[in-house]
Chains A and B, each alone.
Chain A
Amino acid sequence: MTVTEDRPTDTGAPKEIGRDRRRKEDQRLITGRTRWTDNIQLPGMLHLAMVRSPYAHARITRIDTTVAKQTPNVVAVLTGEDVKDEQGSLPNAWPITEDQKAPPHPAVAVDRVAFAGEIVAVVVARTAAEARDAAELVDVDYEELPAAVDLKQAAADAVLAHPDLGTNKSAFWQYDSATAGTGGAVDEAIEEARTNGVLIEREYRQQRLIPAFMEPRSVVSDPTGEQLTVWTATQVPHFVRFFIAVVLGVPESKVRVIAPDVGGGFGGKLQFTPEEAITVVASRRLGKPCKYTETRSESLMAAHHGRDQWQQLTLAATKDGTVTGLKVDLIADMGAYLGLVTSGIPILGAFMFNSIYKFAAYQFNCTNVFTNKTWTDAYRGAGRPEATFAIERLMDELAAELGVDPLEIREKNWIKHEEFPFSTVAGMEYDSGNYEAATAKAKELFGYDELRAEQRRRRDAGDPVQLGIGVSTFTEMCGLAPSRVLGNLRYAAGGWEHASVRMLATGKVEVVTGTSPHGQGHETAWSQIVADRLGVPFEDVEVLHGDTQIAHKGLDTYGSRSLTVGGEALVLAADKVIENAKPIAAHLLEASIEDIEFNDGKLSVRGTDRGMALGELALAAFAAHDLPDGVEPTLDAEATFDPVNFSFPHGTHLCAVEIDTETGGVTMRKYACVDDVGTIINPLIVEGQVHGGLLQGIAQALWEEAVHDDAGTLVSASFVDYLVPTAADTISFDVDHTTSPSTTNTLGTKGVGEAGTIASTPAVVNAVVDALRPFGVNDVRMPCTPERIWKAIHAHDGAQSGGAPTEGAAAPHFDEADTADRSAGTEGAEQ
C-alpha cells in the first residue's frame, strides 16, 4: 500500500469556513434519487393503512373488522383492544410541573377517541392499495361525546376533553422576577404605571399552525434478523430508538433506527409518533417488514400542530417610554394529548418575552389546557415566536401610544452593546450582541427614512393604497441546551451532542454526527468545519448521520442546536485527532512530541521542513508497522459536548407592506433584515435558512391557520384551505448580517434555523397595523386576511356595504370566541 495522493499542505489554502459552497447533498435531495423512507422496499414487506376517527370526541362502542379481514391480501386488522397490552403509552418527555396532568396516550385508541384523526384501527395488507381499500371496510360505531374545541371555553372547563381528568388544565407554570431574584415585582410596576405612567394592555392570538413539511411521515419496521431495524422520516432517530425501547419494551441494544434522507420537519418530526409505534408493533407481531406512509390529508389532520395560544399582556412604562415591567398570562392549547415536548413549548417562551430589553420586573404565567384537537408540539421557533410576537407588537403599541418612532422606543429600552454579557430579568445570560449596529445597518438597507416619507405622502393624499412599516428587533435562544438547565426545567433528557472523526487509510475523513439533518445542509457545513480544522480537502470529508448504529450517540436536530452544540463536538473531536497524530508523527519524524506542530493538514517538526500530512499518518496508524510503544494504532477520536449556555442570535427586521384599502389585500413592498448569527460557516446556507424562515413567519402573519369547526373537525384540511405560500407569493428579501461571535462555543456560531421565522411574524403584523393606524385600528388578528383588514378599516364607519365589524375581523377582540367559531362555507373546497 502506498500513499497515492499528496495532502495539501500549503499555508495559503483558502479557508472553508465562510465560503458560500453549494450544498453537496442537494443533487440527491432535489432530484429525489435518494433514500427517502417511502422508497425503501424490503422482501415480503406489508403495508399499513389507518382507520381514523372522524369525531373529535367519542366513545368507541363497536369495531367490526370481519369484512376487512376477509378481503384478499389483508393479513391483519388490529384495533386498540388487540394491541392495548403491548402498545404502551406514548411519551411526554417534559412534565413541566410535578403535578402536571396528562391522559394516557395510546397509539391506537382503545375505547375513546379524543381528536378527529386519532387512529382507531390498523389494516395490514400485502399492498398499500389493498390496505387502504380494506380500511374503508372497517366498521366503527361511535357514541359522540361533547367536544372541547374552543381554547378559552376549555380553559374554563366548560366541556372536558378527558372527563377522567376532571379538568382541562394540565399544568400551571410561573416565572416571577421578584421570586427569582432577577428583578422587581411586576404588579408594583403596573400599579405605578397605572397612576403615573403608561400601561399597554393587549390580548393577542397565536393561531394554530401546521408544520406542513414537504415529505409526509413514513416508517418502515423490519423485525427479521437479530435486531429490529426501523427507518423513519424523523428529526430524532436517537429519541425514536430510546422510546421504542421504553414504550414498546424492546431492549435498546436490539433496536436500530435509521433516519435516511428526511424531507423537512420544522419541529413536526420531533416526535415519537403513534404511527411509528403501531408500525413496530404490527411488524413484530406478524414477523414481517411493515411500512406506513401517511397521506397529505392525514399529515395535516393528525401530525402534531403548532402554536395556538391566547396571550394576555400588560406592559408598564414611564411616560418617557422606559419599560418598567411586563406581565404575561398565557393559555396554551395542548390539544388532546401531551406529545414529546408539547407541555414545554410555551415554557420555552418564558425566557424570551423580555427579548432584547432591560425590563425592571417581569412575570410569566402559563396555563396548559387540553382540547379535543390534534395535539400541539414543536414548530419552528417553538415558544420563541410567540414571545417575540407579543413583545414586538407591544413595543409598537407603546411607541404609538407615546407618538414616537418604534425604533426609538426600542433603542431606549434595549441592552447596549457594551453591556454584554448581560443577565436578563428572565434569568438568562446573553452572550453577545450589538443591537445598535444591526439596526443601523437594517435602516440603511431598508431605506427607512424614505419609506417613512412615502408613508406620510400617501396618508396626506388619502391614497387608496396605504403603506405600513413594521419593525421587529428580535433575539432568541439557540443551541438546546445546557443539560443542567434542561434538568432544572424538568426536561427528561440532556442537551449534549456527540461527534466522531475517523481517519481512513486512504486519507479520506469520515465524520459522524449525532445531529440529524433533514434539509439544513449539515453535510456541507460539517465538511467545511472539518476541512479547515484538519487541513483536508472539503471533498474528502464524508458526513454520516441518522443511523443509530453508525451515529450511536446523539440528541438529534431541533432548536437551532446542530451547529452550536453538534458543531462544537465536531471541533473537539477533530482536535483530538491531531493530538492522536502527534506522538506518531514525532516517532516517525524522529523528533520530540513537543516539537511537533500542526498547520494546514501537516504535522511538522518545528523550525524544519520535515513533516507528514495527516493522511500519511492515518495510513501509518492503519498499517501500524512502526508506532511508538503504547500508542494505539488509530487517529480516530470522538467527543461529547455539553454547552454551558445558550447562544443568543438577534437581528433587526424591517418590513414594508402596501395595503389596498379597497380590498384589504396586502402586498409585500420591501423586507430587509440584518441578523447577527455569530460566525457564519456557509453564507449561502445561512441565506437559505433566513429566506425560508422569513417566509414561514410571514405565512403565520398573512396566510396560514388551522381552523376547526364547532364539532372539532379540521376545516383547513388540505392545501386548498391551509394556505402555504410559494415563491410566487413573496418578494426578494434584502438580507445582511452583523457578526458578534458567540462566546459559548469555539467557532463563535449562533443558531440560524429559526431566526427568520421568529423575527418576521411581528414585523409583518406591525407593518399591517402601522398602515391602518389612521383608520383607528390597533390590531388585526393573524392571519391578517384581506377580509379582516377590510373589516378593520370599516369597523368604525358603518357606511360601507358589509362594513360592520364581525367577529374575528377587527381589534380589539378581548371577548371574542376562538377562530373555531368560523366554520367553512358552502364552497366545494376539495376539488
Chain B
Amino acid sequence: MIPARFEYAAPTTLEEALSALAEGGDDAKIMAGGQSLLPVLRMRLNTPDLVVDLGRIEALRGIRDDGDAIVVGATTTHAEVLDHPLVRENAFVITKAVEQLADPQVRHRGTFGGAVAHADPAGDLGAPCLALDAEFVVAGPGGTRTVAAEDFFVDLFTTAIEDGEILTEIRIPKRPGWGAHYEKFVRVAHQWPIVAVAAAVQVDGGTIREARVGLTNMGSTPLRARAVEDALVGQPATDAAVREAAAAAAAGTNPPSDLNGDADYRRHLATVLTRRAVLAAAGA
C-alpha cells in the first residue's frame, strides 16, 4: 500500500535532526531502519507530516567500548550487533535475543535504537535491555539526558523519549563471563514472540550468584521477573531449584490475550520458558 504524503528530511548530523524535529512539531516521526515505521505508514495507521530519517547520521551508528559499559549507537543494525564481539563477550543475552529477532532481511535493515524506541511489548530487545540495566541516552534541544531502563519503557509503544528528542545510544553495563539465553516461543519462525524470556546469570561453582530475568510480551512493557531473580540467588543451578524459582515468573504480569493464546496460557508459558532460559543460561 502507498503511505500518505509526507515531507522527508535526511539530516547528516544530530543537530540538524533535532532542528528538523523541532520544526516538524507534533506530526513528525523519526525513522531509523524503518522496519516498524514503514508498515505503519503503508497501512496508513499513522500519517505524519514529516519523517526524519536518521540513516545518514554516521555518529549514531556503531558499537564501542566505554570502560565498564559497551555503547551501541541507536542506528546500529541488528546484524552488526549480532556479529559484534564486544556484545557477545559483555552482554551475551543481547546476542542471543538478536539471533532470533525477526528474519535476516529485517536484521540487516532494522536498528537497535529503532526497535527499543518503538517499544512494542512483543519486541525482542526490551527484556534483555531491562535485564541488563541498560541506559538510554536521549538528546534533545536542551542537551542530553540518560534514562535508566526501568524508566524508559512507559507503556505500549511509549517510552520516556519526549517529542523533539532522539535516542542516540544505549549503554549496556558489561557483564563478562555471565551465561545468557533468550527463550522465545513462537508458532512460526518469523512471528513476534508469544512470550519470550531473557536470562543472564552469573554462576560460580555451580551456584547462582546473580540472575537477571526479563520478560517479553507479558504486559504493556517489557518486565523484570524480580521475584525469580531474588529466589535464584544462592541457589544451585539445578532443574529442581530453578523450577521452584521460575514458578514465580508470572507474578505481577498482565499479559495480553490474542489469537496466539490467552493471558492464563501466557502466564503458564512464562514459568516454563523462564526455567528453560535460566537453566540454559547457567549451562545446566
A728 to B186 alpha-carbon distance, docked (Å): 12
Interface of B is mostly: loop
Residue of A nearest to B156 (CB): A828
Asked if A800 is at the interface of the complex by the 8 Å CB criterion, the answer is: yes
A829 to B156 alpha-carbon distance, docked (Å): 11
Asked if A715 is at the interface of the complex by the 8 Å CB criterion, the answer is: yes
Asked if A519 is at the interface of the complex by the 8 Å CB criterion, the answer is: no
Contacts of A136 in B (CB 8 A): 4, 44
| Of A33-41, A125-133, A154-162, A410-418, the one touching chain B | A125-133
Contact across chains for B189 and A801 when beta carbons are under 8 A apart: no
Take A297-B1, A802-B268 as given contacts and tell me if A703 and B188 are in contact as well, using a CB distance cutoff of 8 Å: yes
Selected from B4, B120, B261, the residue in CB contact (under 8 A) with A786 is B261
Take A133-B5, A136-B44, A662-B272 as given contacts and tell me if A827 and B39 are in contact as well, using a CB distance cutoff of 8 Å: no
Contact across chains for A824 and B187 when beta carbons are under 8 A apart: no
| Of A554-562, A718-726, A738-746, the one touching chain B | A718-726
Asked if B190 is at the interface of the complex by the 8 Å CB criterion, the answer is: yes
Contact across chains for A830 and B268 when beta carbons are under 8 A apart: no
Take A723-B191, A801-B267 as given contacts and tell me if A824 and B4 are in contact as well, using a CB distance cutoff of 8 Å: no
Q: Whole-angstrom distance from the CB of A746 to the nearest CB of chain B?
A: 43
Contact across chains for A824 and B45 when beta carbons are under 8 A apart: no
A728 to B60 alpha-carbon distance, docked (Å): 33
Contacts of B44 in A (CB 8 A): 136
A133 to B44 alpha-carbon distance, docked (Å): 10
Contact across chains for A702 and B187 when beta carbons are under 8 A apart: yes
Asked if A663 is at the interface of the complex by the 8 Å CB criterion, the answer is: yes
CB-contacts of B229-265 with A (<8 A): 250, 256-262, 264-265
Chain A interface size, as a band, is 35 or more
Q: Whole-angstrom distance from the CB of A504 to the nearest CB of chain B?
A: 44
Contact across chains for A729 and B188 when beta carbons are under 8 A apart: yes
Contact across chains for A791 and B265 when beta carbons are under 8 A apart: yes
* Binary contact track A16-37/B, C-beta < 8 Å → 1, others 0: 0000000000000000000000
A235 to B231 alpha-carbon distance, docked (Å): 61
Contacts of B39 in A (CB 8 A): 830-831
Contact across chains for A128 and B191 when beta carbons are under 8 A apart: no
Take A702-B187, A726-B190 as given contacts and tell me if A826 and B260 are in contact as well, using a CB distance cutoff of 8 Å: no
CB-contacts of A717-763 with B (<8 A): 718, 720-721, 723-726, 728-729
Contacts of B194 in A (CB 8 A): 786
Take A707-B259, A716-B259, A786-B187 as given contacts and tell me if A802 and B264 are in contact as well, using a CB distance cutoff of 8 Å: yes
Selected from B121, B190, B261, the residue in CB contact (under 8 A) with A787 is B261
Asked if A785 is at the interface of the complex by the 8 Å CB criterion, the answer is: yes
Interface of A is mostly: loop
Contact across chains for B260 and A785 when beta carbons are under 8 A apart: yes
A757 to B241 alpha-carbon distance, docked (Å): 46
Asked if A825 is at the interface of the complex by the 8 Å CB criterion, the answer is: yes
Asked if B284 is at the interface of the complex by the 8 Å CB criterion, the answer is: no
Contacts of B43 in A (CB 8 A): 297, 718, 830
Contact across chains for B185 and A663 when beta carbons are under 8 A apart: yes
Asked if B192 is at the interface of the complex by the 8 Å CB criterion, the answer is: yes
Asked if B207 is at the interface of the complex by the 8 Å CB criterion, the answer is: no
A806 to B4 alpha-carbon distance, docked (Å): 42
Contacts of A824 in B (CB 8 A): 258-259
Contact across chains for B258 and A829 when beta carbons are under 8 A apart: yes
A297 to B217 alpha-carbon distance, docked (Å): 25
The 7 A-B residue pairs whose C-beta atoms are closest, nearest first, are A802-B264, A825-B258, A728-B189, A787-B261, A295-B1, A825-B257, A825-B256
Excluding A802-B267, A802-B268, 16 further A-B contacts by CB distance (< 8 Å) are A136-B44, A662-B272, A702-B187, A723-B187, A725-B188, A729-B188, A785-B261, A787-B265, A790-B265, A801-B250, A801-B264, A802-B265, A827-B192, A827-B256, A828-B156, A829-B258
Q: Could you name 22 residue pairs across A and B whose Cβ atoms are closer than 8 Å?
A: A129-B5, A133-B5, A136-B4, A136-B44, A295-B1, A662-B272, A703-B187, A723-B191, A728-B103, A785-B260, A787-B260, A801-B268, A822-B259, A824-B259, A825-B256, A826-B257, A826-B258, A827-B122, A827-B256, A828-B120, A830-B43, A831-B36
* B interface list, Cβ under 8 A from A: 1-2, 4-5, 36, 39-40, 43-45, 103, 118, 120-122, 156-157, 185, 187-192, 194, 217, 250, 256-262, 264-265, 267-269, 271-273
